[in-house]
Amino acid sequence: MSEGPITRVRAAVAPSYLTTQRGIRSWLLTTDHKRIALLYTFSVTFFFLIGGIFALIMRLELLTPETDLVSPQTYNELFSMHGIMMVWFFLIPSIPNTLGNFLIPMMIGAKDLAFSKLNLASWYVFMLGGSIVLYAFFRGGVDTGWTFYTPFSTEYSTTYVIPAALGVFVSGFSSIMTGLNFIATIHRMRAPGLTWFRLLLFIWSQYATSVIFVLATPVLAVVLLMVAVERIFQVGIFTPALGGDPVLFQHLFWFYSHPAVYIMVLPAMGVISELVAAFSRKPVFGYLFVAFASISIAVISFLVWGHHMFVAGQSVYSAMYFSILSYLVAVPSAIKVFNWTATLYKGSVSWDTPMLYAIGFIGLFTIGGMTGLFLAALGIDVHVTDTYFVIAHFHYIMVGGTVMAYLGGMHYWWPKISGKMYPEGIAKLSALTVFLGFNLTFFPQFVLGYLGMPRRYAAYPPEFQYLHILSTAGATILGVGYVMPLIYFFWSWYYGPAAGPNPWRATGLEWQTTSPPPPDNFEITPVVTRKAYDYAGMKEELRLA
């Protein structure tokens, strides 16, 4: 149901979710999912900047083979804090808690999430976790790596392990609350006529992500708790001296942390589905396959964690099993890549900024995914594990994948969120900057890793220096590419041209309401009669939009 001129006039006088109440209290005590999404956006951006600064310092140190900028101890702290900040305080919450929070109720035609107060509570819990972690960082840091491996973390590290672990533990509850909320919402709050297979693929991805949130995060919580208990009471749960097994820690840790990487990538894939459809003006090819691929990824992701432990000492049979399953998990991801590509075929493709990010994602995610398969092979992994090859692999997915999708999604839905349009020319330039900077940063790292440069080392043999210089140069360019959107988004909020309800002329319920939306999302609860991405069927309506 599209809305015409009458709604636009009404919208001009009716308040949006931004203007309906003013003042800091109305933001800090809001239960409106859209405002909470903005609260999260500020938070994750802040944490991203901190994590990014740690990365920049590391890259500066790595310009020279000696440890001359920072001490080895400080370097250990830098990579640990970079990892902790980026994983738990940026990547995991980014798309779900910003775009997911904002869009899920709108995309299903609901007024809010199922548990609106729980949503606000989740943000406070998240901020509490972040504060505790920042306290650990600025009191003196943590040097165990984001992976907290025992017995170093429990016995030998002299840094602020417990506050860091505690901060992560607390932020995990924010994840659990979010996942719970999303699952209940998607099951119970869909508008009349919105059957499962009419849902946007973004919703399928968020649903799959939420299942992982809910089933994996508690195990992380409990294993960090055990690390804290061991460290405080000096009892050997994971320490060989008292009969404990460090590998058991790794089993419990990676049981969560492997699915966690799918928490980081599934929402990104959901965004890409939306972008590819919108900018090809076609339904996503093989909707059912993409929807089921999301669920399959979520399920299979729980069965592969041992591939992080091939050289840790687990049994050979265990390793073989995990290797085979890791190949299996690549299949649904590949299906998605094929289907996005097929969506472009005979589509009416336009190259607005969100689409640039989407295409970038598809290419970079493919490289990241394929190098993951190299790592899943036992023989190769023994050679490249704990080298820069692994670092390059996961940064291709996390940064080349997730961050690009996050930026693409931000650009795409920015008009809906802010009611304003960002400047397209500069945006395209920054997308290109990000793409070039990213590849210059991380492609040399594949070579470094293959040649044997270990990860988490501040010093290295001089023959690796030229590759590190390339990488650091790339990182600087990448940093510029990230700062640009910060500036122009901020500018556009105040000075950008007003965007209408549907500047992209896209399908999807979120575009059937004003930009920015009213507090209740829709004037009247929509009734859904069309399938998703019905560009052909909605041609006339979209032309008038």
Contact residues: another protein, CB under 8 A? 105, 110-116, 176, 179-181, 183-185, 187-189, 211, 214-219, 221-223, 225-226, 229, 233-237, 242-245, 247-248, 251-252, 255, 302-303, 305-306, 313-318, 321, 520, 525
Residue number, 110 or 532, with CB nearest to another protein = 110
Residue number, 350 or 525, with CB nearest to another protein = 525
Residue number, 82 or 258, with CB nearest to another protein = 258
User: What is the nearest approach in angstroms of another protein to the Cβ of residue 191?
Assistant: 10
User: What is the nearest approach in angstroms of another protein to the Cβ of residue 121?
Assistant: 13
Backbone phi and psi for residue 385, each to the nearest 5 degrees, phi listed first: -65, 150
- Return d(Cα 141, Cα 121) in angstroms, integer: 27
H or E stretch covering 373 = helix 353-376
User: What is the nearest approach in angstroms of another protein to the Cβ of residue 487?
Assistant: 36
- Return d(Cα 402, Cα 270) in angstroms, integer: 10
Place of tokens 């291709």: 396
H or E stretch covering 440 = helix 424-451
Using left for φ > 0, alpha for ψ between -120 and 50, and beta otherwise, residue 524 falls in beta
Residue number, 89 or 305, with CB nearest to another protein = 305
Before 283, cis peptide (omega within 30)?
no
- Return d(Cα 255, Cα 252) in angstroms, integer: 5
Residue number, 219 or 375, with CB nearest to another protein = 219
* Long-range pairs, 242-245, Cβ under 8 A, ≥24: 244/150, 244/151
User: What is the nearest approach in angstroms of another protein to the Cβ of residue 238?
Assistant: 9
User: What is the nearest approach in angstroms of another protein to the Cβ of residue 299?
Assistant: 9
Burial class (CB in 10 A: 0-12, 13-18, 19+), 197: exposed
Residue number, 215 or 380, with CB nearest to another protein = 215
Residue 178: alpha-carbon gap to chain centroid: 14
Residue number, 123 or 285, with CB nearest to another protein = 123
- Return d(Cα 115, Cα 263) in angstroms, integer: 21
User: What is the nearest approach in angstroms of another protein to the Cβ of residue 227?
Assistant: 12
User: What is the nearest approach in angstroms of another protein to the Cβ of residue 315?
Assistant: 4
Place of tokens 């405080």: 232
